[in-house]
């Protein structure tokens, strides 16, 4: 299943054009990482893709068909959204939150059946939180909540996952757990688009990089070809360096001293 975005544009009601000429393609086994400074348009782009904001121009298609032509249930069976976080004020169990992912496959008054519950249990197991199924969602940690939201998306059985900063506010261990699961899902054929404030995450698991600045594409390419020290310094307006180990592992580190900027790599 392929998501294609061609010349997407979006304007807020006051007339300022917020996104201009955004084009990219998301295919099975892709992990497209969207990078950019605050206010670049990353979350706005996600809201446009999910239909929460009406685009002013361009096209969004799913397997060649206009996304706007799908009913809400049809759309939900193809694309699942994993938000940064959510709250439950009704004392829902973790299992209940994940089971909500099955609503895309149920009628208005239809209740979840045996198959829906089996899919829910598999999703819980896949992300490693089956042992939390009977805990209240509001009582588990931030990392566990994020895994729960990912499990809910998997229970939805959509093959395209759109994730808004899935590792935001998580400790280092939970960041790696989330990234490891996302990489595994892509290997299994999911198509993943994720925004992130961490270039290191894109270096770790990204297959393609889409960078935004002031509502426009700043650069597109593979992590290896695009993410150089100079490029990231220009994107964020601060001095950073890409370091590379002998095994090919790459990491992004900041340069705090102005004097060190002379040593910035020009890859």
d(CA 4, CA 182): 20
**pLDDT band (50, 70, 90) for residue 16:** low
Q: What is the mean pLDDT of the chain?
A: 90
d(CA 62, CA 4): 7
The arithmetic mean of pLDDT across residues 157-162, rounded, is 96
| Lowest model confidence (mean pLDDT) among 10-14, 170-174, 259-263 | 259-263
Q: Provide the pLDDT for residue 266.
A: 56
pLDDT at 37 over 60: yes
Q: Provide the pLDDT for residue 110.
A: 80
Q: Provide the pLDDT for residue 257.
A: 67
pLDDT at 75 over 70: yes
pLDDT at 108 over 80: no
Of residues 121 and 166, more confidence is placed in 121
**pLDDT band (50, 70, 90) for residue 90:** low
- pTM here? 0.89
Q: Provide the pLDDT for residue 143.
A: 85
Q: Provide the pLDDT for residue 256.
A: 83
The structure tokens 């900063």 sit at 165
CATH 1.10.565.10 fits 1-78+158-223, yes or no: no
End-to-end CA distance of the chain, in Å?
34
Q: For 194-241, write each residue's pLDDT tens digit.
A: 999 999 999 999 999 999 999 999 999 999 999 999 999 999 999 999
DSSP characters over 115-149: HHHHHHHHHHHHTT-GGGTTSBGGGS-HHHHHHHH
| Lowest model confidence (mean pLDDT) among 18-32, 56-70, 83-97 | 83-97
State what percent of residues in the chain have pLDDT above 70: 93
Q: For 43-65, write each residue's pLDDT tens digit.
A: 999 999 999 999 999 999 999 99
d(CA 258, CA 241): 13
Q: Which two tokens stand for residue 141?
A: 């940690």
- Residue 80: enclosing H or E segment and its boundaries? strand 79-82
**pLDDT band (50, 70, 90) for residue 174:** confident
The arithmetic mean of pLDDT across residues 180-206, rounded, is 95
pLDDT at 86 over 60: yes
Q: Which residues contact 170 (CB under 8 A, 6 or more apart)?
A: 142, 143, 146, 178
Q: Provide the pLDDT for residue 111.
A: 87
Domain ranges of the chain: 1-78+158-223, 82-157, 228-267
d(CA 25, CA 143): 29
């Amino acid at each position: 299943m392929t998501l294609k975005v061609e010349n997407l544009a979006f304007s807020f009601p006051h007339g300022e054009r917020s996104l201009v000429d955004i084009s990219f393609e998301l295919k099975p086994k892709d992990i497209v990482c969207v990078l950019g400074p605050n206010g670049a348009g990353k979350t706005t782009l996600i809201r446009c893709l999910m239909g929460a904001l009406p685009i002013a121009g361009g096209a969004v298609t799913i397997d060649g068909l206009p996304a706007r032509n799908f009913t809400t249930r049809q759309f939900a069976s193809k694309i699942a959204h994993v938000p940064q976080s959510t709250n439950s004020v009704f004392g829902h169990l973790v299992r209940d939150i994940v089971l909500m992912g099955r609503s895309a496959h149920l009628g208005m008054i239809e209740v979840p059946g045996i198959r829906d519950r089996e899919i829910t249990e598999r999703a819980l197991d896949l992300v490693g939180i089956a042992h939390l199924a009977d805990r209240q969602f509001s009582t588990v940690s931030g990392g566990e909540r994020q895994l729960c939201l990912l499990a809910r998306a998997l229970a939805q059985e959509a093959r395209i996952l759109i994730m808004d900063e899935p590792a935001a506010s998580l400790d280092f261990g939970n960041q790696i757990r989330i990234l490891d699961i996302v990489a595994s899902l892509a290997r299994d054929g999911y198509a993943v688009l994720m925004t992130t404030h961490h270039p290191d995450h894109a270096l770790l698991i990204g297959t393609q990089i889409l960078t935004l600045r002031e509502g426009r594409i700043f650069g597109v390419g593979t992590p290896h070809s695009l993410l150089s020290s100079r490029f990231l310094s220009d994107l964020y307006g601060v001095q950073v360096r890409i370091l590379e180990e002998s095994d090919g592992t790459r990491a992004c580190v900041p340069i705090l001293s102005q004097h060190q900027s002379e040593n910035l790599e020009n890859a």
